[in-house]
A and B are shown apart, each in its own frame.
Chain A
Amino acid sequence: MHPAPSVIVFSVLSGAGFGLLFYFGFGFAHPSGLMAFLWWGLGYSLAVIGLLASTFHLGNPKRAWRAFTQWRTSWLSREAWASVAALVLLAPMALSDWLDLGLPRPFGWLGGALALLTVFTTSMIYTQIKAVPRWHHWLTPVMFLSFALAGGAVLAGQSFAAVFLAALVVMLLAIWQVGDGQFARRAQTLGTATGLDRIGDVTVFEQAHTAGNYLLREMIFVVGRKHAQKLRAIALALAAVIPAGLLAISGEVWAFALAAICHLIGALAARWLFFAEAEHVVGLFYGKR
């Protein structure tokens, strides 16, 4: 799949943002005053910037409001609702923290839960796509949630962040391991896709067109294996290993800040791979995966 920067930025930032908001909602951190303004602000900004970024890849952003209409069936629509609901429902809590209104914490629980639900709905947008085997399994939501929880924990300055980051290492290794075999497990080949396997071994003789098209650009992105391995190492190091190490060394603010930056860069790399390595079955028709 084409690793569209807007989608990568969107999902990474909003994931981290909602992760952070989750911790606020449940009161793992309860800043106050200016600190609250800045910190909650960070959470809100990440979430909102992410959501805005997601509209960049729309063909018709001016109609984006319509995305709220199909919550019954569409995960994207549910995501739209969940995100707005989370942001709205957490607003009293955020205001309370900032202005010291003393709202009881349970007021944030629902919003906090919705924040995590938003991340889950985001993940389901990908998970539901049967046509992309690498995405279509339970580890995908786990992966999104892990990133949100780990990233959020770092941003929220939680002492257990290191543990979550360590868990992220396991999660990433697992999803890559599982993901790599997904397409093959589907046993979908050019032969089965076309039904011509009933005759013999099928290969592409000629492309349907020599010019580029939307499918080739959007769905058929071929990333070199070597390239991917290197990027995986980088993603793993930056998103999890290094920040975990940093936090193991120090609990200072600078360590958290550095870990957060490191983690986000690593998350971007991992997310890039999440798209770039994902193969859509339509590629089969083109003899590509």
Chain B
Amino acid sequence: MTSLPVSTEKRLGLAIDLDTCVGCQACVTACKGWNDQGYGVPLSDQNPYGAEPSGVFLNRVHSYAVQPIDGAAQTINFPRSCLHCEDAPCVTVCPTGASYKRSEDGIVLVNEDACIGCGLCAWACPYGAREMDAAAGVMKKCTLCVDRIYNENLPEEDREPACVRGCPTGARHFGDFADPDSKVSRLSAARGGYALMPDLGTKPVNRYLPPRKKDVRQDASILAPLLDIKASGFAGWLDRVLGKI
């Protein structure tokens, strides 16, 4: 299945709102928690209580400083997980067919039973979306919670990715980008959602909603003083103010 499907019926993915993400890391552990017991082998940790712990996470949240040309510096939190690219290079490089893109919904998955752990797909992914599990020797990546979104054992409203369900600010949205009327499509259109590194030709499905313009200030003139306090004194001020009742 190393070949990519020519097209997929749906293009499921995430719209991540950078204007809203507070960088709380909730999606990181929600993802870890679900996937530690869900699809494939657990997300192992090495030396969890040691001097140099290390483990697999399918979703990481960075925090960047951004200095506009004028104005105060900003902090922008930036979640990063698989973008479920349409032209996923991670899939085509895979020698075993373990990496594949589902034709029905476009989810990029690793068939762990076939994965030899060569790591090539992780090299091919420009976004660092794949992490090798050191215990099982297989490649792990965001599954878009394929074992949740269709899961009939879950209540209908819970059939969304763990990170989306758990995000306290609602900065993560899940849906079908192939459907122009879906929430994610509309959000992306309205807010100017963008793809990461489009020039690499990977055609990511996920979209990032850019932060809104910051530090735009109100015009202070609407606060024109009622009257010149100095001129009329406190008594004058009081009269004017209370006269308004």
- Does more than half of chain B's interface fall in helix, strand or loop, or is it mixed? loop
List the 10 closest pairs (A to B, CB-CB), nearest first: A59-B117, A59-B137, A282-B128, A76-B95, A200-B68, A66-B96, A208-B60, A70-B2, A131-B126, A77-B95
- Which A residue's beta carbon lies closest to that of B62? A208
B241 at the interface (CB under 8 A from A): no
Residues of chain B in range 47-91 having any CB-CB distance to chain A below 8 Å: 52-57, 60-69, 73-76, 78, 80, 89
Chain A, interface residues (CB within 8 Å), range: 35 or more
Contact call A219/B76, Cβ cutoff below 8 A: no
Residues of B within 8 A of A74 (CB): 2, 92-95, 120
B232 at the interface (CB under 8 A from A): no
Contact call A195/B196, Cβ cutoff below 8 A: yes
Contact call B62/A67, Cβ cutoff below 8 A: no
B116 at the interface (CB under 8 A from A): yes
Residues of A within 8 A of B62 (CB): 194, 204, 206-208, 285-286
- Which B residue's beta carbon lies closest to that of A76? B95
Contact call B196/A194, Cβ cutoff below 8 A: yes
Contact call B125/A73, Cβ cutoff below 8 A: no
Assuming the contacts A61-B116, A195-B196, A213-B54, asked whether A208 and B122 have C-beta atoms less than 8 A apart, the reply is: no
B151 at the interface (CB under 8 A from A): no
Residues of chain B in range 198-212 having any CB-CB distance to chain A below 8 Å: 199-201, 208, 210-211
A14-22, A93-101, A122-130: which one contacts chain B?
Answer: A122-130
Residues on A lying within 8 angstroms of B by beta carbon are 1, 57-61, 63-64, 66-70, 72-77, 80, 125, 128-132, 188, 190, 192-196, 198-209, 211-215, 217-219, 280-282, 285-286
B223 to chain A, nearest CB (A): 29
Contact call B115/A195, Cβ cutoff below 8 A: no
Contact call B211/A60, Cβ cutoff below 8 A: no
Contact call A60/B93, Cβ cutoff below 8 A: no
Contact call A211/B126, Cβ cutoff below 8 A: no
B108 to chain A, nearest CB (A): 14
B24 at the interface (CB under 8 A from A): no
Residues of B within 8 A of A200 (CB): 66-69, 73-74
Assuming the contacts A60-B137, A285-B80, asked whether A193 and B95 have C-beta atoms less than 8 A apart, the reply is: no
Residues of B within 8 A of A68 (CB): 95
B145 to chain A, nearest CB (A): 20
B229 at the interface (CB under 8 A from A): no
B189 at the interface (CB under 8 A from A): no
A87 to chain B, nearest CB (A): 18
Q: How far is A209 from B80 in the complex, measured between Cα atoms in Å?
A: 12
Contact call A202/B65, Cβ cutoff below 8 A: yes
Contact call B54/A59, Cβ cutoff below 8 A: no
Contact call B68/A214, Cβ cutoff below 8 A: no
Assuming the contacts A128-B93, A214-B132, asked whether A192 and B119 have C-beta atoms less than 8 A apart, the reply is: no
A162 to chain B, nearest CB (A): 36
- Which A residue's beta carbon lies closest to that of B50? A211
Contact call A130/B200, Cβ cutoff below 8 A: yes
B160 at the interface (CB under 8 A from A): no
Q: How far is A267 from B69 in the complex, measured between Cα atoms in Å?
A: 47
A and B contact pairs by CB, cutoff 8 A, 13 listed? A66-B98, A67-B116, A72-B2, A73-B3, A74-B94, A80-B95, A131-B123, A199-B74, A207-B62, A208-B61, A213-B56, A213-B131, A286-B62
Contact call B132/A59, Cβ cutoff below 8 A: yes
Q: How far is A73 from B18 in the complex, measured between Cα atoms in Å?
A: 36
B194 at the interface (CB under 8 A from A): yes
- Which A residue's beta carbon lies closest to that of B139? A59
Assuming the contacts A199-B68, A206-B63, A208-B62, asked whether A129 and B124 have C-beta atoms less than 8 A apart, the reply is: yes
Contact call B125/A66, Cβ cutoff below 8 A: no
Q: How far is A219 from B131 in the complex, measured between Cα atoms in Å?
A: 11
